[in-house]
Structure 1
Amino acid sequence: MDVRTLGDLLDAVGGASVRLVTAPAGLTAPVTEALLYDAHAPFPRVPGALLLAVGVRPEDAGPVLAAAAEAGMTGVVLRGADGRAPDDVHGVALLSVDEDAAWHHVHLLLASAIGARPAPSAGGLGDLFALADAIAAAAGGATAVEDPRQRILAYSTVPGQPVDEDRRQGILGLQVPVSAENTEQYRRLFAADGPVRLPALRDGGLPRLAVAVRAGGETLGSVWVIDAGTLAPDAEDTLVQGASTAALLLLRARAARELARHLGDDLLRRLLEGTADAATAAQRLGLDGAVRVAAFVPDATASGPDAERTALRLLDVVRLQCEARYGRHACVLVDGVVYALLPAPGARHRALAEDIVARAGQALRVPVRAALGGTVPDVASAAESRADADLVLRVQGPDVPVATIDEARPRVVLLRLRELMAEHRELSADGAWRRVLSYDAEHGTDHARTLVCFFDAGCDMAGAAKRLAVHANTCRYRLRQVQRQLGVDLDDPDERLVLWLQLRTLAGLRPATR
């Protein structure tokens, strides 16, 4: 198993639950396991461990911190240590949990995260199947473990234990059959504090003994045992103990998934920034060959918490659709923009983006825009495709919900030219374009717009006049004034080109509508 670092652990469970007070050795210190402190037992000596200082107040934690440092531990967890940290933590990390936090819950949370593997795996289902077999053998009846949505996560395979048709159908589809009677049984089960005996739902069926699986007040699922009249006398106790173990396994599986997703998000974020190792990223993300970045952004009218919630919901929509289309997803939220790394070939990318924009717009009730960067040969060039997508978003109008870099190339080039010209004084400080704008400002003329329309019309006088909605002679007169009074040589193709670019990019004059 890969060794967790303190930083990995805080990324997985940090926030409101577990807070870092200080880390003298940094966030790369290894964390091997979580231990409960017992003042009446010998002090544990486990290098890299996190010690949960049960019964120790922050102001009295000095000796415990010193002993933890001597034992080579990575850190100590205290209740209510925020703002009450000892002056000397002896070089170990200090973490804080709430004053009313249950130590067994904190221990379960940390132990699950430390034991979680960074890569997706069976998600703890193998252990759940072993647990189901253990409960079935001890309680005397076929057993199933379910999640809160009545999906069957694991089931026992002990030979000779009676089952009924509901059991068979549930296992075949890994989903409990839906019925009004079934719904009522689940209502009773989740309202009870302990095991519940439930009658058979139909003729030929068998009754059940069931218990809810909970941790910290959260319902994680349930455990069901078929009662064919052969249950052991202590079956209820067995079920309660089994539910406690199931809670640990489900929390550990959740922590593994969350840690894997966090590490994947971080890897993708660094890949899009161009700082990740491409070979590692390709292997971890399962992307080999050409890729393309799609960027999705919600309407910018929302602000503050609403904008953050909208962006997170958009991320969920993009993830779901990418997983449905490709069987996996490589999506991340960065600065309010959701990026998806799509595998080639790219023929379906636009259709996928259009589908996501339509679905997200309905779900979020705000307009969503999508931009597709260029297809690049491998993930090592993903940052280039991301840069393309970002540029498309900048030039994309609200009336164009989906655009590719090829479609937006002319506007992107003008945008980059404007930025380049603005950075260099010799390209923007002086020149004919400034003389024209100054003259218009002083005399109330419209020479700059006339020039842009003339250039847009391919230097055709009639076409320019039509764009300006004036007579051709008026347009001709204005252009003669520009040449005579401002010294602009409209017969010079280089001067025409430079003047057109400066007026379009630096002055921001848009093409006139025909």
Structure 2
Amino acid sequence: MDTRTLGELLDTLGEPALRLLTAPSGLTTPVTEVLLYDAHAPFPDRAPGALLLAVGVRAEAAGALVDEAAAARMAGLVVRGENGLSSEQGLASGEGPASGQEPSSGQRLASGQGPASGHGQGFADAVARARERGLALLTVDEDAAWHHVHLLLAGAVGARPSPAGGAALGDLFSLAGAVATAVGGATVIEDPRQRILAHSTIPGQPVDEPRRQGILGRQVPDSPENTEQYRVLFASHGPVRLPALSAEELPRLAVAVRAGGETLGSLWVVDDGTLAPDAEEALAQGASTAALLLLRARAAQELSRHLTGDLLRRLLDGTAEPATAAERLGLAPGTPVRVAAFALEGAAGAPDGEQAALRLLDLVRLQCEARYGRHACVLVDGVVYALLPGTYGRAGERQRRLAEDIVRRAGQALRVPVRAGLGDVVPEVAEVRGSREDADLVLRVLGPEETVAAMADVRPRAVLLRLTELLGERRELAAGAWRDIVAYDAGHGTDYARTLVCWLDAGCDMARAARLLAVHPNTCRYRLRQARAQLGIDLDDPDERLVLWLQLRTLAGLRGAGA
């Protein structure tokens, strides 16, 4: 496996996840592993190439730790920094990439000319000491969770990740085979939801019908008896022997897979009475290896989500190169796509609004991945965007049903109303920005009783909203007879403007206009005659009628039909 360099990690994660203060040995420094600092554990004597996450240590207090990390020949030290640390402090003299290479946005180095703005002498001393000792010094934001930083870095260092931790999951199949050989029975590895992640294929080992069905469906069949066995298994601290649940089933030897007190899954072996004498010990050893592989798979998946989310963000704002983005997202050239936008109603300004939006992101991602596998979702300014495979015509109802399901589930889980807008299907990734604008517009025009809509459902409202914005921005478009009509009504107590709108909404049908106004048709005719006479408008001119209607509907905000 190729070793990642410090520069590659910064390009992969970027700001604000990780900020570089100094890198005396340059950005090509290899990073071999990621370690967590424990103040109560012995410090490693040698850990060449390691990146140490100094949990609980701030930059200004990192001086002694810098010395220890440098003595152990570590590649770098990551400490808690401060929000707002400038990424534009320039390159320190003699540091960073080779001459002629420009650093990426995540590769800025502290200038070394005294403390950075807003930082004390302790901060500057730590940077200076790291530079003197040849150790890279990096910071994470105040709000960053150490476990999240560890997951991202471990995934980036441990592998050039496949879409969803595929390399680690492939290793799980190898592990299942090795455990089956050592224990002497057919083996499966499951996640905490009883989904089968990997299984052995050793010739001659019996597999009963329930196990066969579980492997075919990638899911353990649900039953009260199964639930009880899982309860017993997860309450145990070691391998347990479980009886057969039916005449067609064989007994099992099983063990929970744990790491740091968290249950990651389980290993199950079919027990036909011929297991090895040391089967329980071999299975426990297999569980330890499975824990490492499952953590690696999770880290790779988390990294993949982070990278695809960042890629989608750049697609949405039009800064990503479409062909490269499509390839990285696994989309064939010319694949139609559409953007779905999900927003919490009235939660943006709430104290826990940001946390609720992150939970909404998790819910949307989970539902999309369950239907489409690897998927790109991202949270931008309180709105969760998902890139959906686009289909035209009635087949597009699948995305609507998905959006309705997400809105229902999210509303129940978060106890906050959730609304969704579906942008138009666009023929390729290069036009994703337009579909995002559609989805945002749908959210803006949804009625009080509407929770999900596609652009096709609300296009007239969307067009009128855009026209309102356009007319209001241009002086020549906002001028016209409509202002005189509204002013005349205000000064004389008449209702000419609303009468005109109702008449035009009714297709110039006097009887329908009168019903909208709840007046006699003769009253409607009289008002229109007076409007012509007093204000000089020409209602026989179709162009004047069209412009007048648009301006009264948009700029004056009047509406007849459905009012």
Q: 1:300 aligns with which of 345, 354, 366?
A: 345
Q: Secondary structure in 2 aligned to 1:341? A: strand
Partner of 1:416: 466
Q: Do the aligned partners of 2:63 and 2:126 also contact (CA within 8 Å) in 1?
A: no
Q: 1:470 aligns with which of 519, 526, 529?
A: 519
Residues in 1 aligned to 2:424 and 2:43: alpha-carbon distance in whole angstroms: 65
Q: Do the aligned partners of 2:152 and 2:303 also contact (CA within 8 Å) in 1?
A: no
Partner of 1:435: 484
Q: Do the aligned partners of 1:6 and 1:29 also contact (CA within 8 Å) in 2?
A: no
Residues in 1 aligned to 2:366 and 2:180: alpha-carbon distance in whole angstroms: 36
Residues in 1 aligned to 2:535 and 2:213: alpha-carbon distance in whole angstroms: 87
Q: Do the aligned partners of 1:59 and 1:86 also contact (CA within 8 Å) in 2?
A: no
Q: Do the aligned partners of 1:5 and 1:31 also contact (CA within 8 Å) in 2?
A: no
Q: TM-score, normalised by structure 1?
A: 0.78
Count of matched residue positions in the alignment of Structure 1 and Structure 2: 497
Partner of 1:260: 304
Partner of 1:60: 64
Residues in 2 aligned to 1:301 and 1:330: alpha-carbon distance in whole angstroms: 25
Aligned-pair distance for 1:213?
Answer: 0.9
Distance change (3 Å), C-alpha of 1:484 and 1:158: closer
Aligned-pair distance for 1:134?
Answer: 2.9
Residues in 2 aligned to 1:427 and 1:97: alpha-carbon distance in whole angstroms: 48
Q: Do the aligned partners of 2:190 and 2:196 also contact (CA within 8 Å) in 1?
A: yes
Q: Mapping of 1:271-420 within 5 angstroms?
A: 271-287=315-331, 288-297=333-342, 300-302=345-347, 304=350, 329-363=375-409, 364-365=411-412, 369-399=419-449, 403-420=453-470
Aligned-pair distance for 1:419?
Answer: 1.1
Aligned-pair distance for 1:370?
Answer: 4.6
Residues in 2 aligned to 1:149 and 1:95: alpha-carbon distance in whole angstroms: 36
Aligned-pair distance for 1:271?
Answer: 1.6
- Give 5+ residue unaligned stretches, structure 2: 83-118
Aligned-pair distance for 1:140?
Answer: 4.7
Deviation digits for residues 432-477 of structure 1, max 9, x if unmatched?
Answer: 3223323322333222212322333445555543432233443344
Q: Secondary structure in 2 aligned to 1:224? A: strand
Q: Secondary structure in 2 aligned to 1:88? A: helix
When structure 1 is superposed on structure 2, of 261-270 and 83-92 the one drifting more is: 83-92
Aligned-pair distance for 1:372?
Answer: 3.9
Distance change (3 Å), C-alpha of 1:152 and 1:384: closer
Partner of 2:97: none
Distance change (3 Å), C-alpha of 1:414 and 1:206: closer
Partner of 1:499: 548
Residues in 2 aligned to 1:422 and 1:204: alpha-carbon distance in whole angstroms: 75
Q: Do the aligned partners of 1:31 and 1:114 also contact (CA within 8 Å) in 2?
A: no
Partner of 1:32: 31
When structure 1 is superposed on structure 2, of 364-373 and 256-265 the one drifting more is: 364-373
Partner of 1:445: 494
Residues in 2 aligned to 1:491 and 1:424: alpha-carbon distance in whole angstroms: 26
Q: Secondary structure in 1 aligned to 2:126? A: coil
Q: Mapping of 1:136-285 within 5 angstroms?
A: 136-158=180-202, 170-176=214-220, 178=222, 180-199=224-243, 208-226=252-270, 234-285=278-329
Aligned-pair distance for 1:309?
Answer: 6.6
Residues in 1 aligned to 2:376 and 2:442: alpha-carbon distance in whole angstroms: 20
Residues in 2 aligned to 1:376 and 1:54: alpha-carbon distance in whole angstroms: 46
Matched AA of 2:548: L
Aligned-pair distance for 1:147?
Answer: 2.0
Q: Do the aligned partners of 2:185 and 2:205 also contact (CA within 8 Å) in 1?
A: yes
Q: Secondary structure in 2 aligned to 1:420? A: helix
When structure 1 is superposed on structure 2, of 419-428 and 34-43 the one drifting more is: 34-43
Residues in 2 aligned to 1:97 and 1:410: alpha-carbon distance in whole angstroms: 45
When structure 1 is superposed on structure 2, of 349-358 and 55-64 the one drifting more is: 55-64
Residues in 1 aligned to 2:170 and 2:56: alpha-carbon distance in whole angstroms: 36
Q: Do the aligned partners of 2:339 and 2:386 also contact (CA within 8 Å) in 1?
A: yes
Distance change (3 Å), C-alpha of 1:436 and 1:43: same
Q: Do the aligned partners of 2:53 and 2:78 also contact (CA within 8 Å) in 1?
A: yes
Q: 1:87 aligns with which of 120, 125, 143?
A: 125
Aligned residues: CA RMSD? 4.4
Q: 2:154 aligns with which of 111, 116, 121?
A: 111
Residues in 2 aligned to 1:474 and 1:106: alpha-carbon distance in whole angstroms: 72
Identity across matched positions, percent:
62
Deviation digits for residues 199-249 of structure 1, max 9, x if unmatched?
Answer: 555669765443221112110112234556665565444333322211010
Matched AA of 2:157: I
Aligned-pair distance for 1:501?
Answer: 2.3
Partner of 1:5: 9
Matched AA of 1:63: D
Residues in 2 aligned to 1:53 and 1:512: alpha-carbon distance in whole angstroms: 65
Q: Secondary structure in 2 aligned to 1:440? A: helix
Q: 2:503 aligns with which of 425, 450, 454?
A: 454
Q: Do the aligned partners of 2:183 and 2:283 also contact (CA within 8 Å) in 1?
A: yes
Q: TM-score, normalised by structure 2?
A: 0.72
Residues in 2 aligned to 1:106 and 1:325: alpha-carbon distance in whole angstroms: 28
Q: Secondary structure in 1 aligned to 2:304? A: helix
Q: Do the aligned partners of 2:423 and 2:435 also contact (CA within 8 Å) in 1?
A: yes
Q: Do the aligned partners of 1:293 and 1:339 also contact (CA within 8 Å) in 2?
A: no
When structure 1 is superposed on structure 2, of 295-304 and 146-155 the one drifting more is: 295-304
When structure 1 is superposed on structure 2, of 236-245 and 306-315 the one drifting more is: 306-315
Residues in 2 aligned to 1:55 and 1:414: alpha-carbon distance in whole angstroms: 54
Aligned-pair distance for 1:327?
Answer: 6.1
Residues in 1 aligned to 2:168 and 2:352: alpha-carbon distance in whole angstroms: 35
Distance change (3 Å), C-alpha of 1:469 and 1:299: farther
Distance change (3 Å), C-alpha of 1:107 and 1:372: closer
- Give 5+ residue unaligned stretches, structure 1: none
